[in-house]
Amino acid sequence: MREVCIIGCGMTKFGELWTKSFRDIFVEAGLKAIDDAGVDHIDSMYVGTMTSGLFVGQEHVGALMADYLGVAPIPALRVESACCSGGMAIHQGILDIASGNSDIVLVGGVEKMNDGADATYALSTAADQEYEVYQGITFPGLYALIAQAHMHKYGTTRQQLAQVSVKNHYNGSMNPNAQFQRKVTLEQVMNATLVADPLTILDCSPVSDGGACLILAPLEIARKLNKPIIKIIASEAATDALALHQRKDITTLNAVKVSAEKAYKKAGMKPSDIDVAEVHDCFTIAELCIMEELGFCEKGKSGKFVEDGNTALDGKIPVNTSGGLKSKGHPVGATGAAQAIEIVEQLRGSAGKRQIKNAKIGLAQNMGGSGASSVVHILKKLND
C-alpha cells in the first residue's frame, strides 16, 4: 500500500449562497484545490453529498461534477454516508491511491441545502425511516435524546452543553469562511428558542450551502512539491446500528469509538499525541460525546472537560478551531472535507488568528446520522 498525502485544498465560504448553484459550489471548491496543489490533471474523483436528490433534485453527481470541473472522462464516483459523506469520499480517494490505481485524486463534498427543500425532512432520511422518523423524530430530537440521557447518567449540565457553542462561535468569529463569524454568550445559547429539549437553536448546526475539496497524491509526488508535506497516517471508518434505540447504550457513539481506536492503532499514536482536532459537532452534545469516544477525556466527564477550557484555542487539545459545524456551517456532504482542510491549514501554519502554535499532528472526525457511521483521519506534517 502506498503512503498518501494531501497536496492541495480549497473550499467555498459556507452559508446561504443564494447566487451559487449546487454544481458551481462544488466546482469553485475543486478549482481552488487544483490551483492550490498546482497539478495539471487529476486521475479520478470522489464527491461526497448526502441527499442532493432531495435538496436539489440532482443525483448522478460524480459525472455531473467531473463534466463541470472540465475533467471528464475521468472516473468520478458520488459517495454517500449521510453527514459522513465528505469524510468517506476522502477515505475512498486514499484507497484509490494506496492501491496504486490512481496518482492524483480529487476528493471532497458539497451540499446545497437552501434551495427550498424541507431540510428537516431531508436530513431525517439519515435516521431509520420506518422506526424513528415514522414516529415523528427529527435530528435535533435524536441528539436531544442523547443529551437527556447523558445529563441523567453523568450529571452533564445545560451550561456545559452551551459552552461548546460559545467556544465554537468564538473560533468561527476568526474564520473568513464561516457562516456565522460572531461570538455568542452562554446566556444567549441557553435562552435561545428551544428546538428539542434541552437543545436550543444555538445548540444546533445551521442549514448551509458549501463545498470543500482536497487533492491527494502518493508521498513520492508530494515530496517533489515545494510545500509542507501533510501525510495521512490513518483513515479508519466504522458503523453502528442506524436507529439510536437499537444501541446498547444511548450515550455511547460506538462507531466513533471504534474508528478512533483503529486510527490510533494504525498511526501508532494515543489521544495525547494529537495537537489539534476537528470533530463532528452537529449538535453541542455530539461534541461532548465525541471527546469521550476519542479518548480526550474519561467517559462521562466531557462536560467538565470542555467547561474547564481544555478544548479552547489555548487549551490542552484545541477542538474545532474552524468554528466547527456550529459556527462554520454544516453543508452536510462537504463537512468532512472542510474538517480535513482546517487540519491541513493548522499543520501548514496558515490558519491565521486561529493558528495553534507548532501543530504537527491533527485529527478529523466526521460522523453520519445519529452516529451510525464515523470516519477518523489523522494527519501529520512531515519534517522538511
Residue 246 CB, nearest distance to other proteins (Å)? Answer: 7
d(CA 354, CA 312): 11
Per CB under 8 A, 136 contacts other proteins? yes
| Nearest partner of 374 among 287, 243, 260, judged by Cα | 260
Q: Is 245 in the site for other proteins (CB under 8 A)?
A: yes
Work out how close the CB of 13 gets to other proteins at its nearest, in angstroms, rounded to a whole number: 26
Shortest CB 157 distance to other proteins, Å = 16
- In the complex with other proteins, the residue whose CB is nearer, 125 or 355, is 125
Using the rule CB under 8 A, which residue among 101, 182, 185, 194 binds other proteins? 194
How many Å apart are CA 312 and CA 23, to the nearest integer?
35
Q: State the Cα–Cα distance between residues 15 and 283, nearest whole angstrom.
A: 17
C-alpha radius of gyration, the chain, whole number = 19
149 binds other proteins (CB under 8 A): yes
Check: CB of residue 16 under 8 Å from CB of residue 113: no
Nearer to other proteins, 248 or 357 (CB): 248
For residue 76, what are the β-bridge partners?
A: 45
The answer to the question of residue 294 lying near other proteins (CB under 8 A) is no
Q: Alpha-carbon distance 274 to 258, whole Å?
A: 17
Judged by CB, which is closer to other proteins: 86, or 198?
198
- Using the rule CB under 8 A, give the single segment among 62-70, 71-79, 141-149, 261-269 that binds other proteins: 141-149
Q: Give min distance, CB of 289 to other proteins, in A.
A: 13
- 100's CB contacts (< 8 A; 6+ apart) are 2
**Closer of 143 and 296 to other proteins (Cβ):** 143
> How far, CA to CA in Å, does 322 sit from each of 41, 104, 162, 175, 299?
29, 27, 18, 6, 25
Kindly state the smallest distance separating residue 147's Cβ from other proteins, in Å. 8
Kindly tell me which of 230 and 242 has the beta carbon lying closer to other proteins. 242
Choose, by CB under 8 A, the member of 4, 42, 90, 145 that binds other proteins: 145
Give the span between the Cα atoms of 359 and 276, in whole angstroms: 7
The residues that are catalytic are 83, 330
**Residue 173 DSSP label:** T
Q: Which of 1, 73, 130, 226 binds other proteins (CB under 8 A)?
A: 130
Strand partners, 237: 375
Task: Based on the shown chain and the rule CB under 8 A, indicate whether residue 255 belongs to the binding site for other proteins.
Answer: no
How open is the CA angle 153-157-163, to the nearest 5 degrees? 135
Assigned C-alpha cell, 56: 436539489
The β-bridge partners of 192 are none
Contact letters (x/-) for other proteins, 107-126, by CB under 8 A?
-----------x-xx--x--
Closest distance between other proteins and the C-beta of residue 190, in Å? 15
Residues that bind other proteins (CB under 8 A): 118, 120-121, 124, 130-138, 140-141, 144-149, 152, 193-199, 243-246, 250
